[in-house]
Amino acid sequence: MEINVYNKCPDYNTYRAARVKSLFNPEPGNEFKHHAVLPVEERDWKIGLIVGPSGSGKTSIGDRIFGGGKIYDLYGDWPDDAPIIDAINPGGDFNEVTGSLASVGLGDVPSWLRPFKVLSNGQKFRAGLARLMCSDLSEIVVDEFTSVIDRQIAKIGAQAFSKSWKRTGRKVVLLSCHYDIIEWLEPDWVYDTQEARFARDSLRRPQLELEIRKVDGKLWPRFKPHYYLDLPMPPAAEYFAGFVDGEPVCHVAVAPFFTANAYRATRLVVMPEWQGAGVGTKFLEWVCEYHKQGNGRCGKKLPTLFHTSHPQLIAYMNRSKKWVLKSQQLFGGKRAKSMKSINAAHARGSAESEMANHIVNAGYGGHFRAVQGFKYIGINGN
């Protein structure tokens, strides 16, 4: 495919325009030309990337890639009076919408209940990708991809989108002025407008080094705003956090559950800017294996139980051979009964503190969350 771009505007000859021409003797400012050769028909592909500085012809080339009229606006046409969970594919399947939000890294459940206009830049970017995932478009061009967001979110967001999009079998061309996303996106081809160069098989995605440490409960307040339930920490729990380059990115608590011959993991949180990078499942399974090998409370070699209502996590655990489904329920139980049980357990664990007589206004139940319980058995089973 060859694309010739020729854009022209009036050649102004005002005093200031004439003075600029005389001072700098520039190339004609009213014309732009670019000849691009993109042999995209030679192989099957899912993701193409056109990258280059502003004003280098990316949008003009992208607009002609599929014959014109295929540029998709991630940020346009969002209602101001509806949460994004209702605004994305309103007539579609609920599980598809929640799955798309999680798959592009917007796993921060409270944000699903907010309108698009109040989201952060990073959340808006991921919400736009989720809406694109749920569309029925087969050939799309996305302009200004990752241009207005933090670079860390851009890289992880590109990775999450790439993994999810390639499973759809559709084609998308992304236009970006940032080169730092190439190795995270792993596109099938890249066209650099600055060098007029086409390349396949770009750099491979870098491997993240996740350092896992046992921590105290003082780190939890940093993660708590991103946890979808408001509950006290479980009694006798040990806390673990995952770090990338010294930055805490994920958290989980593990408490003894010896009446069931197990441990129980809870309060799993991945910071929003790292959602979609795959660190959450890697982190959780490392902690579960740590306990399975007898490194947890009392040195018992026991499996770990984990309950979740997160659709993406449920899908992963149902596919994985490391996890076995143990329970599932559509409706939550009685909230009052749960609150009584939590308060009793909290009082037992805090008998010597002022919290022993404190009533915790929290409990499970009274909702329609489809909760599934899994047991970690590891690679070799148990």
Q: Residue by residue, what is the 3-state secondary structure of 252-281?
A: EEEEEEHHHCEEEEEEEEECHHHCCCCHHH
Q: Are 5 and 33 in contact (CB under 8 A)?
A: yes
Q: Output the pLDDT for position 148.
A: 77
Q: Where do you find CATH 3.40.50.300 in the chain?
A: 2-200
Alpha carbon of 234 to those of 44, 131, 335, 346: distances in Å? Answer: 51, 37, 17, 7
Q: Tens place of pLDDT for every residue, the chain, 382 residues?
A: 888 888 888 989 899 988 888 888 877 778 888 898 999 887 899 999 999 998 889 999 999 988 888 999 999 999 999 999 999 999 999 989 988 998 888 888 889 999 999 999 989 999 999 999 999 999 999 998 988 788 888 898 899 999 999 999 999 999 999 999 999 999 999 999 999 999 987 667 777 889 999 999 889 999 998 887 777 788 899 999 999 989 999 999 999 999 999 999 999 999 988 888 889 999 999 999 999 999 999 999 999 999 998 877 888 899 999 999 998 876 545 444 545 554 555 555 544 444 334 444 544 444 445 789 999 999 776 5
Among 61, 74, 49, which Cα is nearest to 186's?
49
Residue with tokens 């441990």: 263
Q: What is the pTM of this model?
A: 0.75
Q: Where do you find CATH 3.40.630.30 in the chain?
A: 211-332+367-376
Token pair in block for residue 375: 């047991």
Distance from C-alpha of 31 to C-alpha of 9, rounded to nearest angstrom: 7
Q: Which amino acid appears at position 15 of this protein? A: Y
Q: Output the pLDDT for position 354.
A: 40
Q: Which amino acid appears at position 235 of this protein? A: P
Q: Output the pLDDT for position 114.
A: 95
φ/ψ of residue 244, rounded to 5: -120, 120
Partners of residue 34 on adjacent β-strands: 5
The arrangement of strands across the sheet holding 47-51 comes to 71-72, 139-142, 171-176, 47-51, 189-192, 197-200
Partners of residue 266 on adjacent β-strands: 253
Q: Which architecture characterizes domain 211-332+367-376 according to CATH?
A: 3-Layer(aba) Sandwich (3.40)
Q: Which architecture characterizes domain 2-200 according to CATH?
A: 3-Layer(aba) Sandwich (3.40)
Q: How far apart are the first and last CA of the chain?
A: 56
Alpha carbon of 75 to those of 72, 175, 308: distances in Å? Answer: 9, 15, 31
Q: Output the pLDDT for position 68.
A: 83
Q: Which residues lie below 8 Å from residue 12, measured CB to CB, with a gap of 6+?
A: 30
